[in-house]
Amino acid sequence: MFKKYGIIGLILIAFVELNFILKIQPFADNYFPIVWFGYILVVDALVYRLKNKSLISNKPKLFFSLIVLSAVFWWTFELFNKGISLFHGAPYWAYHNASLDIFSTIPFSTVLPAVFETAELLSTIHLFDKVKLKKEHKINKSLLIAMTWIGIAFLVVPFIIESPYLGQAMWFGFFFLLDPFNYMHNKPSIIGCLKEKKFVIPISLFIGGMVCGFFWEFWNYWAIPKWIYTMNPPFLGIRLFEMPLSGYIMYGPFAWSLYAAYNFIRTILHGKLEKVI
């Protein structure tokens, strides 16, 4: 069964696509939450169609929690970007015909649900069930400590050294910082998946992040309010929409960072939030 809210989602997406031409206000200036909540509704309906359960239909409280945490997580990235601007005079990305304010929380709230819903859909169609490591790799304390320090370095060094290359490290930083913590506290983690020789969650998240990244950039390209990238390494200069072509792969580790951050919150809340994916 394809849930009726999936039809609503398709209508929202179609409206935004048409409105890129018509530019009817105030919808044209607020396309992002419209199209992304539409996307989330469609993907959730597809998941329900395939497995007879989904986040919105069966875990509405968890879905609402993801909306709230999504806004918190993305504001964290915005503060990181603002800090880069204060230290080096220019941010990694900036907004054209738009400004950051309290209402920005609404579009920011769609990021986490979109990525997790997409990863859930990919895992539901069982493309990666047979992808496994041939042999188990040992996870020791030294490796976990090293990953944590790498995560700290990835988040700190961009403030110290002005470089368009180092800016890419932020997408890895929260994964390296938080995933070892989750693993040590027996919460879901990418490290734990690799130890168990199971690739479904890591690959689904990685590709899910890239899928969302493509649509983020695609819809952003046609919009009136949009983001632009201000610090691009020369060899990444060829763009697909506003994003340098090879930059799309960074959406993969970004999804891992979101997963690590979510499970970190679960850890400090003593598991009061439910498991996702």
- What would the pLDDT profile of 49-67 be if each residue is shown by its tens digit? 999 999 999 999 999 999 9
More confident residue, 129 or 249: 249
| Mean pLDDT value of segment 16-23 | 97
Strands 239-240 and 226-229: unpaired
Per-residue pLDDT for 261 more than 60?
Answer: yes
Cβ(56)–Cβ(23) below 8 Å: no
pLDDT tier at 242 (50, 70, 90 boundaries)? confident
pLDDT digits (tens, 9 = 90+) for 97-143: 988 899 999 999 999 999 999 999 999 998 877 766 666 667 889 99
Structure tokens at 87: 């230290």
What pLDDT score was predicted for residue 98?
A: 86
What pLDDT score was predicted for residue 204?
A: 96
pLDDT digits (tens, 9 = 90+) for 149-184: 999 999 998 888 877 777 778 888 999 999 999 999
The structural domains of the chain, with segments of one domain joined by +, span 61-268
CB within 8 A of 86, min separation 6: which ones? none
Per-residue pLDDT for 211 more than 60?
Answer: yes
Instruction: Of 103, 124, 66, give the one whose Cα is nearest residue 225.
Output: 103
